[in-house]
């Protein structure tokens, strides 16, 4: 082994071993914090995590030590719901969900029939994600198989842990985006064979949402879920009140929006339902019983005027919550920006988000919600070496604020509220530095 395969990152280290709870003080045993820590990386994985002084005598002579003292290392951030094909329509003015889809999203996604465009945007999207410290995401492609091939190819070259899938929709969208009902399933089966489990990639079945899929397409997707429980599934649920009315008209035989998905066998422990704003507690309970998760997309919900997610109601139901940017409806790819918006939504509901809960959500919480906690989300031996190096003094204002912090909690909260991409000094994926602000 050479030093190129093994190195140590020295910095303040923070990782979560369990849900810290809602209190200002995290639950006992939930947080692992090392003020002067050593993260020993070997062959793309974490070999050891300890105090630098304790680990130093065990290190091989001449091993590279990357000195990040004065900075904070955490597991790489995870985004549970994002559309790479909407990167260039972020900040498109003045529409709520259904108008926004018709006026901006669908015309934009038509461009992804061209491989060159899909390859260009895949690279641009991944560059932006790594720049904000996000090392894993669950991604919507377009309905064109080439958009998936381009995205997975770009991820595989970078050895990233990513989930993605081809959008399935066979109605209520432009002809250029609609599948033949079974043709879309055949395309999906080919993409699964090519990409699912290749390197660090996983396939997520992706019916856009109930209104754009016939019952036949939803049922066929459910058949894929039953045939291979290692697959993931992502779609949208109860984002907008107009959407709820439309679903009720299209599926009069279903008792509610969630039942549309239940009847096709789409609700399970690897299912992510984006938004879930307009649900009652009984529906949240049904999701929880099946182990599904709701992707909380606060900046998108505010931007599109969709509503205020009731985070505590979901927690009370025992429902897994994940955090997501939902770009292009969201206004920022940064996980820090997502937490800032989540705090603001919580304030309007009388349920503010602590920094402990927020950073747990971006790391181990999202990993658990996506069934990836055996690979990413913690700084622990054997885990994949995906980490973000944060600079709490990245901007003059942030430096002034964090200089006055009396606790780690205050520093984390300042990062949550004042931080942006400038706070990400480096991003590492698979044990390699894939972004450096310097």
Based on the fold, state whether residues 60 and 118 are members of the same structural domain: no
Res. 315: pLDDT tops 60: yes
Q: What is the pLDDT of residues 211-238, one digit of tens each?
A: 999 999 999 999 999 999 999 999 999 9
Mean pLDDT of 153-174: 97
Res. 268: pLDDT tops 90: yes
Tally the domains of the chain: 2
With pLDDT > 90 as the criterion, what percentage of the chain qualifies? Answer: 96
Based on the fold, state whether residues 359 and 404 are members of the same structural domain: no
pLDDT at 291 (0 to 100): 98
Q: Is position 72 within any domain?
A: yes
Q: Is position 362 within any domain?
A: yes
CATH code of residue 427? 2.30.40.10
What is the overall mean pLDDT for the chain? 96
Based on the fold, state whether residues 296 and 192 are members of the same structural domain: yes
Domain boundary among 369, 389, 416: 369
Based on the fold, state whether residues 109 and 156 are members of the same structural domain: yes
Q: Is position 374 within any domain?
A: no
Based on the fold, state whether residues 30 and 89 are members of the same structural domain: no
Q: Is position 177 within any domain?
A: yes
Q: What is the pLDDT of residues 2-57, one digit of tens each?
A: 346 899 999 999 999 999 999 999 999 999 999 999 999 999 999 999 999 999 99
pLDDT at 4 (0 to 100): 60
Q: Is position 261 within any domain?
A: yes
Band (95; pLDDT cuts 50, 70, 90): confident
Q: What is the pLDDT of residues 168-177, one digit of tens each?
A: 999 999 999 9
Res. 360: pLDDT tops 80: yes
Based on the fold, state whether residues 109 and 205 are members of the same structural domain: yes
With pLDDT > 70 as the criterion, what percentage of the chain qualifies? Answer: 99
CATH code of residue 122? 3.20.20.140
Domain boundary among 369, 393, 417: 369
Based on the fold, state whether residues 358 and 400 are members of the same structural domain: no
Based on the fold, state whether residues 268 and 353 are members of the same structural domain: yes
Q: What is the pLDDT of residues 379-388, one digit of tens each?
A: 999 999 999 9
Based on the fold, state whether residues 37 and 186 are members of the same structural domain: no
267 with 287: CB under 8 angstroms?
yes
Res. 1: pLDDT tops 50: no
pLDDT at 153 (0 to 100): 98
Based on the fold, state whether residues 227 and 365 are members of the same structural domain: yes
pTM above 0.85, yes or no: yes
Band (262; pLDDT cuts 50, 70, 90): very high
Q: Which domain holds residue 140?
A: 77-369
């Amino acid at each position: 082994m050479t030093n190129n395969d093994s190195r140590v990152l020295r910095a303040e280290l923070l990782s979560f071993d369990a849900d810290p709870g809602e209190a200002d003080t995290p639950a006992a045993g939930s947080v692992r914090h090392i003020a002067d820590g050593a993260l020993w990386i070997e062959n793309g994985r974490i070999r050891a995590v300890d105090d630098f002084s304790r680990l130093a005598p065990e290190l091989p002579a001449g091993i590279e030590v990357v000195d990040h003292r004065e900075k904070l290392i955490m597991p790489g951030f995870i985004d549970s719901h994002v559309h790479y094909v909407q990167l260039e329509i972020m900040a498109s003015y003045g529409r709520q969900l259904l108008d926004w889809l018709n006026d901006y999203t669908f015309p934009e996604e038509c461009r992804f029939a061209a491989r060159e465009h899909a390859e260009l945007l895949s690279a641009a999207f991944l560059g932006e994600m790594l720049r904000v410290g996000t090392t894993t995401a669950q991604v919507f492609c377009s309905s064109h198989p080439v958009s998936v091939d381009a995205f997975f190819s770009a991820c595989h070259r970078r050895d990233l842990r990513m989930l993605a899938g081809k959008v399935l929709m066979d109605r209520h969208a432009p002809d250029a985006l609609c599948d033949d009902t079974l043709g879309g399933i055949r395309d999906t089966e080919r993409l699964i064979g090519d990409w699912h489990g290749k390197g660090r990639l996983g396939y997520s079945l992706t019916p856009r949402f109930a209104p754009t899929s016939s019952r036949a397409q939803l049922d066929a997707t459910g058949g894929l879920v039953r045939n291979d429980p290692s697959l993931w599934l992502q779609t949208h649920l109860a984002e907008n009140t107009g959407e709820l009315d439309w679903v009720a008209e299209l599926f009069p035989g279903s008792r509610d929006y969630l039942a549309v998905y239940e009847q096709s066998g789409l609700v399970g422990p690897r299912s992510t339902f984006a938004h879930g704003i307009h649900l009652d507690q009984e529906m949240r309970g049904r999701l929880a019983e099946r182990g599904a998760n709701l992707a909380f997309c606060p900046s998108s919900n505010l931007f599109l005027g969709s509503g205020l997610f009731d985070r505590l109601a979901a927690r009370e139901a025992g429902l897994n919550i994940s955090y997501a940017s939902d770009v292009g409806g969201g206004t920022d790819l940064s996980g820090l920006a997502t937490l800032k918006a989540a705090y603001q939504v919580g304030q309007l509901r009388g349920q503010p988000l602590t920094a402990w809960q927020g950073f747990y959500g971006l790391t181990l919480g999202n990993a658990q919600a996506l069934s990836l906690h055996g690979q990413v989300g913690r700084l622990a031996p054997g885990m994949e070496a995906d980490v973000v190096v944060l600079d709490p003094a990245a901007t003059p204002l942030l430096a002034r604020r964090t200089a006055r912090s009396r606790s780690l909690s205050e520093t984390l909260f300042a990062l949550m509220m004042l931080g942006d991409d400038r706070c990400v000094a480096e991003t590492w994926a698979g044990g390699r530095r894939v972004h450096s602000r310097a």
